[in-house]
Structure 1
Amino acid sequence: MKKIISFLSLFLIVASSYAQSKKTEKADKLFESYQYIDAINQYLKLTHTNEANAYVYKQLADSYYNVFNIEEASKWYKKAVEVNQDAETYYRYAQVLRSLGDYEAANKQMDSFAKLMPNDQRAISHLSNPDYIPMLADISKAFNVENIAINDENQSDFGAVLSNENVLYFVSSRQVASKKDNWTKQPYLDIYQSTRNADGTMSQPKQISELNTSYHDGPLTISADGKTMYFSRDGHSEGAYKKIKKKRLKLAQQGLYKATLVNGKWSNIIALPINSNEYTVTHPSLSKDGKTLYFASNMEGGLGDTDIWKISIDGDSYGKPVNLGKSVNTSGKEGFPSITDNDVLYFASLGKQGFGGLDIFKYDLNSIEDAVNLGSSVNTNKDDFAFSLNSKLKVGYFSSNRSGADNIYMAIPICQFETVAIVKDAESSKILSGAKIAILDDQHNQIATQATDAAGKTSFNVSCENAYSINITMDGYQTAFYRVEESEGEDIVIKANLKLINEMITETEVKLNNIYFEFNKSNITLQGASELNKLVKIMTDYPDMKILVRSHTDSKGQAEYNLKLSEKRAQATVQYLISKGVSEERLSAKGMGSLEPKINCKSNCTDEQDAENRRSEFLIVKE
């Protein structure tokens, strides 16, 4: 009985395949000869008579894909995967979704592909880095936040500063002693250090005994060479306090002190002349050149509770305190300043609009703009404060009581920069507003588009981790294509000068920029479509013009294979033009393979020479 069922099943499968082949025979022949537009019409007839299946849907989608009708391709790939779990269809669907900028949906299709083809290199690459797909950077998120293992869950740990030698200094109340602060009823703070290892782990924290007293010590700042430290200290330890007889209290203020590293020990501790029994001076931060010290104080002349101030340093001499003003300070409380190597000041504020409690802000000292909240990736409705950033080692630390006690968190900067495009007429330098700018990833998938403003300008915020290019189009002008140079955070400005389309026509040909194809493939890409649209416009303006498309490959690979590939590319180019309304009678195609290289370098071609040889020519046919 089982044999009969197996035989019947096999018969049905064969019959089904045979029927499918008969139904699609005409369309398949058109597809196989690269006549995608005619093939589309034949496959569509099957969908209209309800004779379509997963095969027809996929063929339709592939046809649309090859002529860069991405929206229609997406529609039919979706239908195909709904009725048949074919690995390659999932993969091609993912490619289309990327071209549409729907990267989240593309990832889901790649997940399905990887399940069916786990050993395929494309699946392996996807699973090893599923979130490779570049997105526009979120300017509101500048850091990724992580916990670190050195926190004491029951005590306060805060004020972490990482030296250029990978030593993390911080203050903590973890050393529980019988003596406590009368005001906070908490243990006194001490200064600790921990070594940051190459793998990011931290050594067991240890006290710096020569800096600690029986009272509060810290927080602190360290010089660029790691040999000078400024730190806060309770005046009680120095006998600097005011007696309040009625309450039988000795009221001390925090002051700032300087220490020098000598033979591995901190010594030569001296008090700064700005210390006072009348006000607090605390939370120090030293500039990279060691000539400016920022701090928090409630000294006279401020705007509120505590403000951010600075003093100049010249050897052992100190200038007068200068308030940083309204761009930083408010009538509320500001504290925990930290200055970076490039003059960006991070600080905590209760007076500025935030998420609740202390929030962390940044202020560019070289800018005229106001301070900016670091956003929800760092700030919460609890107290978030004491942010420091080591620009050299590209890692930051801040403190927060979001978990109940003050803990230290690591902040990994998200490198991002602004890609700015300024578009003008190449001949007159006239500003071109309304030009369409598309930003593409390194596989030429479109991420986003914008139009230039009245100043001929537009911009995209992008991540440093990915490669990008921009495609610029405007009616009447030649398309421009630019690669965005790599950046470590510095903005990139691209000055695009567009040439008029009529300058592309010579006596013998229409000159287009190179038509890019994916490696070993023949489907039209976004960049290729943008370039070919110029030819569509020219052929519309010149209705008697006929064009021969000649496609060339580089010399890599077998000559026979290159000839076939170039023929497919030439035909795909013609089919795209037909899809845009150009009459088939006005177009012809010829694949040249590697027979007529532009640069005759043979087997010793450089990558640049290969790129020159991979080209399409658009010859004007004279009758």
Structure 2
Amino acid sequence: MKKTYITLSFALAGLTLSAQNKNTQAADKLYNRYEYIDAAEEYLKLVSANKADNYVYRQLAESYYNVFNTAEAAKWYAKATEEKQDAEVYYRYAQMLKAGGKYAEANQQMEKFSAMVPNDQRAIAFKKEPNYIPRLTAQNKMFDTKNIDINSDKSDFGAVLSSDNTLYFASARNTARKSYGWNDEPFLDLYKATRNDDGTYSKPTEVEGVNTKFHDGPASISADGNTMYFTSESFKSGEFEKDKSKKLKFGKVGIFKATRVDGKWGNIQALPFNSKEYNVGNPSLSKDGKTLYFSSDMPGTVGGSDIWKVAVNESNTYGTPENLGTTINTEGRENFPFITDDNKLFFSSEGRQGFGGLDVFVVDLNKGTEVKNVGKPINSEKDDFAFSFNTDKKIGYYTSNRSGQDDIYVANPICGVQLNTTTKNAKTGELLAGASVAILDDKNNVIETRATEANGMVTYGVECEKAYTLQVSKDGFVSKTVPVAKSQGGEFPMEIALDPIDVIVTETEVILNDIFFEYNKSNITKQGAFELDKLVQVMKNSPAMVIMVKSHTDSRGTDKFNMNLSDRRAKSTVQYVISKGIAKDRISGQGYGESQLKEQCDPCSEEQHAKNRRSEFMIVKK
């Protein structure tokens, strides 16, 4: 990947380098100047000359990691980890393996990482669910995506669409500019293009009034289109440090504000919390203009970089930056926040469970929901980041290096529902693993059947505004059929409580709650089916058991009528049990009419008549 400059200084935290020597001086100097491609070439010369040691292998791995050359990074991490390394090295090695689709090997490195730092949030998540990829792959597709024709042969990223249909983005396409040693591309500038009604875009042009000879971009535009917050290097405001021994100037990334007057951007001001001690970048302004979200490695950061926010006051002053905490941030890198008009926060992270590299995540700040990986096709095994979404126009943009360089992609939302079902024991509340959850369409066709995970969950992606049905079953529990209401999209949680089979089995009889029938009818009622499912489970658990069903009526009607009615009830009971998979030779039935009344009464109340309309289950063979 031709890594975007905003992440460059965030990528280096967490490792203490040692074992530098005179052989590595030239390569180390390039590495310290963030010129990773040239640095790698110098380290490779040491390998060819048989002058490489473990330090060189690690530096090679880190150089390729920082430009997201996953294959080369993994190759040299493998060499470096022949000796014991810091925990972060194993984590980065795992990230590079995941980016190459080598999930089993990545898990091996995550095991080592987790053993070294068991309290790390990333280690805890891995231990809880090491094989999470099938779950991410199966989740409901949230967006369709396609490449956009404004991309160049250089890095293009961080696109946001303003209210006036202007698309702002950062690009390294200006070849007249000096090349940057990080990725051998020109320095970044802010560009803009107009999005036309037919979905095409005008030819991109530079944004006048904000670009300098340093890196500039990406940007965030206010709702009225007249205020811009954008990222630039601190050289712009004279904030940098000098390293006389290396003859270098070290700048940091900061956020700057520009205002538009008469169609021109100007009046550029540095935000007061910029610093030469840390990075502040990738701003995103809320719809009301009162909160600015950004990424930073300032003091108080949990990992390499975190998502922060700050209040924007009416008097053109700012509050104290506030870290969004461990609900959002991890010990890894979180970057590129974007806040939508309806207060959904999109951001990228390498510290959460993803497909590899940076993945895009979302959290609804209004509802306080859990952070969610947005899944494929937005996320891939490569770096995916800088997601933005225009709520009014219902169109999103994001950046990915899946093609080999940073390109901008369009994200079109799909109306879908993520159905999250949790199956529990109705009596104890215990989560039930291994329960069968079948989903049926509105014509009762089975679409798919899955087993619940250890957390009792099964997730299905379904269409908006369509009704579905779930059929849930588990050995030892009464099966349940649950309707799923139509939904307009998003996540739809459902909790399904299965009643444990509560049956008394004596030497002579299986005792269920009474199987009541309606007056003068022989069809199985919903309550009757509920009880008969318990008998089915008992018979499945005792394969040799043979049952004789005795069916009875109340005392109303003639003897002949009642005998025929009870016989029909016995047969319908037998047929129901057979329909559930019990062999025909294991169950039979007979009607006894009113010859064996349970309640001797004259006259009888409705309750007494109901008790007489019953079935009994006699054990013929155990």
TM range, normalised to the smaller chain? 0.5 to 0.7
1:509 aligns with 2:521: yes
Paired residues of 2:231 and 2:254 also in contact (CA < 8 A): yes
**In 2, Cα distance between equivalents of 1:578 and 1:273:** 73
Q: Structure 1 246/451 Cα, relative in aligned 2: closer, same or farther at 3 Å? A: closer
Alpha carbons of structure 1 residues 473 and 578: separation in structure 2 relative to 1, 3 Å: closer
Question: Which residue in the other structure is 1:418 paired with?
Answer: 419
One-letter amino acid of the structure 1 residue matched with residue 521 of structure 2: E
1:177 Cα deviation from its structure 2 partner: 1.4
Q: Distance in 2 between matches of 1:374 and 1:208?
A: 31
User: Structure 1: which amino acid aligns with 2:468?
Assistant: Y
* CA–CA separation in structure 1 for the residues paired with 2:166 and 2:467: 34
- In the other structure, the counterpart of 2:485 is 484
Question: In the superposition, relative to structure 1, how do residues 501 and 147 fare at CA in structure 2: closer, same or farther (>3 Å)?
Answer: farther
**Whole-angstrom CA distance in 2 between matches of 1:227 and 1:493:** 45
- Deviation of 1:440 (Å): 0.8
> What letter corresponds to residue 542 of structure 1 in structure 2?
S
| Aligned equivalent of 1:271 | 270
Counterparts of 1:384-423 in structure 2, within 5 Å, are 384-414=384-414, 415-418=416-419, 420=421
How far apart are the structure 1 equivalents of 2:389 and 2:352? Answer: 21
- Displacement of 1:157 in angstroms is 0.3
The aligned counterpart of 2:551 is 542
Residues 279 and 296, structure 2, Cα contact 8 Å, conserved in 1: yes
The answer to whether the Cα contact below 8 Å between 2:145 and 2:410 also exists between their aligned partners in 1 is: yes
Deviation at 1:232, TM superposition (A): 0.9
* Equivalent position of 1:188 in the other structure: 187
Q: C-alpha displacement at 1:400, in angstroms?
A: 2.2
The separation in 2 between residues aligned to 1:384 and 1:397, in whole angstroms, is: 11
Is the Cα–Cα contact under 8 Å of residues 438 and 472 in structure 1 kept in the other structure?
A: yes
User: CA shift at 1:509, angstroms?
Assistant: 2.1
CA RMSD of aligned residues (A): 5.2
Q: Distance in 2 between the 1:146 and 1:486 partners?
A: 27
Say whether 1:324 aligns with 2:315.
no
Q: Is the 8 A contact 2:307 2:334 kept in 1?
A: yes
Change (3 A) 1:181 1:454: closer
- Give the direction of change, closer, same or farther, for the CA distance of 1:402–1:416 in structure 2 (3 Å limit): same
Opposite residue 149 of structure 1, the aligned amino acid is D
User: Distance in 1 between the 2:429 and 2:354 partners?
Assistant: 44
Deviation at 1:269, TM superposition (A): 3.4
Inter-CA distance 476–546: structure 2 relative to 1 (3 Å threshold): farther
Whether the 8 Å contact between 1:136 and 1:462 is mirrored in structure 2 is: no
Pairwise CA distance, 1:394: 4.2
472 and 506 in structure 1: CA distance in 2 versus 1, 3 angstrom threshold: farther
Query: Is the contact made by 2:161 and 2:168 (CA closer than 8 Å) also made in structure 1?
Result: yes
| Cα deviation digits, residues 161-195 of structure 1 (max 9, x gap) | 23455443211121221444476653222222233
Query: Which amino acid counterpart does residue 418 of structure 2 have in structure 1?
Result: F
What does 1:171-182 correspond to in 2, within 5 Å?
171-181=170-180
Distance 1:484 1:497 in 2: 19
Instruction: Report the equivalent of 1:286.
Output: 285
TM superposition shift of 1:146: 2.4
Change (3 A) 1:504 1:389: farther
- 1:345 deviation in Å? 3.6
Within a 5 Å distance, the mapping from 1:152-167 to structure 2 comes to: 152=152, 154-163=153-162, 166-167=165-166
Identity of aligned residues (%): 43
1 CA distance for matches of 2:339 and 2:257?
18
Q: Paired residue for 2:234?
A: 235
- Kindly provide the amino acid, as one letter, of the partner of residue 305 in structure 2: T
* Cα drift, residue 506 of structure 1: 1.9
Cα distance in structure 2, aligned partners of 1:416 and 1:243: 54
Whether contact under 8 Å (2:420, 2:494) holds in the other structure is yes
Contact 1:156 1:172 in 2 (8 A): yes
**Residue number in structure 2 paired with 1:295:** 294
Please give the residue correspondences for 1:118-133 in structure 2 after superposition, counting only pairs within 5 Å: none
> 2:263 and 2:320 mapped to 1: Cα distance?
32
Segment drifting more, 281-290 vs 296-305: 296-305
The alignment partner of 1:491 has SS state of strand
CA contact (8 A) 1:450 1:458 kept: no
Counterpart for residue 148 of structure 2: 148
Distance 1:480 1:242, change over 3 A: closer
* Cα distance in structure 1, aligned partners of 2:390 and 2:470: 33
- The structural deviation recorded for 1:142 is 4.6
Check the 8 A contact 2:255/2:281 in 1, yes or no. Answer: yes
Q: What is the Cα deviation at residue 149 of structure 1?
A: 1.8
Opposite residue 228 of structure 1, the aligned amino acid is: T
1:437/1:303 CA distance change after superposition, 3 Å: closer
**Counterparts in 2 of 1:578 and 1:472: CA distance versus 1, 3 Å:** closer
AA partner of residue 308 (structure 2): W
What is the CA-CA distance between 1:272 and the residue it aligns to?
1.3
Partner Cα separation in structure 2 for residue 346 and residue 512 of structure 1: 52
Matches within 5 A, 1:82-231: 138-139=138-139, 142-152=142-152, 154-163=153-162, 166-181=165-180, 185-231=184-230
C-alpha distance in 2 between matches for 1:477 and 1:279? 60
Distance change (3 Å), C-alpha of 1:453 and 1:158? closer
Q: Distance in 2 between matches of 1:430 and 1:354?
A: 31
> In 1, distance between residues paired with 2:258 and 2:458?
47
Asked if 1:253 is matched to 2:252, the reply is yes
Deviation of the 1:299 alpha carbon? 2.7
Aligned AA (1:508):
N
Identify if the C-alpha distance between structure 1 residues 340 and 511 changes in structure 2 by more than 3 Å, giving closer, same or farther.
farther
In structure 2, what is the Cα distance between the partners aligned to 1:270 and 1:256?
A: 9
| Distance in 2 (alpha carbons) for counterparts of 1:312 and 1:343 | 15
The answer as to whether partners of 1:221 and 1:230 remain within 8 angstroms in 2 is yes
Q: What is the one-letter code of the residue matched to 1:389?
A: F
Secondary structure of the residue that 2:154 maps to in structure 1? coil
Give yes or no for contact 2:548–2:588 (8 Å, CA) kept in 1.
Answer: no
Q: Distance in 2 between matches of 1:140 and 1:351?
A: 22
Offset from partner CA, 1:417-449 (integer Å, 9 cap, x none): 225477999xx9999989975421122101245
Residue 258 of structure 1 aligns to which amino acid in structure 2? K
SS at match of 2:298: coil
Write the letter of the residue equivalent to 2:169: F
* TM-fit CA distance, 1:225: 4.7
**Contact kept in structure 1, 2:136 and 2:373, CA below 8 Å:** no
Equivalent residue number for residue 108 of structure 1: none
- How many Å apart are 1:155 and its aligned residue? 1.0
Contact 1:476 1:501 in 2 (8 A): no
Aligned-pair CA distance for 1:361: 4.2
Q: Name the amino acid aligned to 1:485.
A: K
Contact 1:480 1:496 in 2 (8 A): no
TM-score (ref. length: structure 1):
0.52
Query: CA contact under 8 A between 2:417 and 2:487: conserved in structure 1?
Result: no
In structure 2, what is the Cα distance between the partners aligned to 1:452 and 1:351? Answer: 26
Runs of 5+ unmatched residues, structure 2: 1-134, 500-511, 537-546, 553-562, 570-574, 592-613, 615-622
Aligned positions, number:
413
CA distance in 2, matches of 1:355, 1:138: 13
Q: What is the aligned partner in structure 2 of residue 442 from structure 1?
A: 442
Q: Quick one: distance in 1 between partners of 2:186 and 2:362?
A: 31
Q: Report Cα offsets for 1:118-166 as digits up to 9, x if no partner.
A: xxxxxxxxxxxxxxxxx999228554442222211x2110011234554
1:203-236 per-position Cα deviation (integer Å, ceiling 9, x unaligned): 3323322333343221112334544331112333
- Are the aligned partners of 2:549 and 2:590 in contact in 1 as well (CA < 8 Å)? no
Unpaired runs of 5+ in structure 1?
1-134, 515-529, 549-571, 587-619
> In structure 2, what residue type is equivalent to 1:445?
N
Query: Aligned equivalents of 1:486 and 1:321: distance in 2?
Result: 38
Residues of 2 paired with 1:430 and 1:251: CA distance?
58
Distance 2:240 2:479 in 1: 76
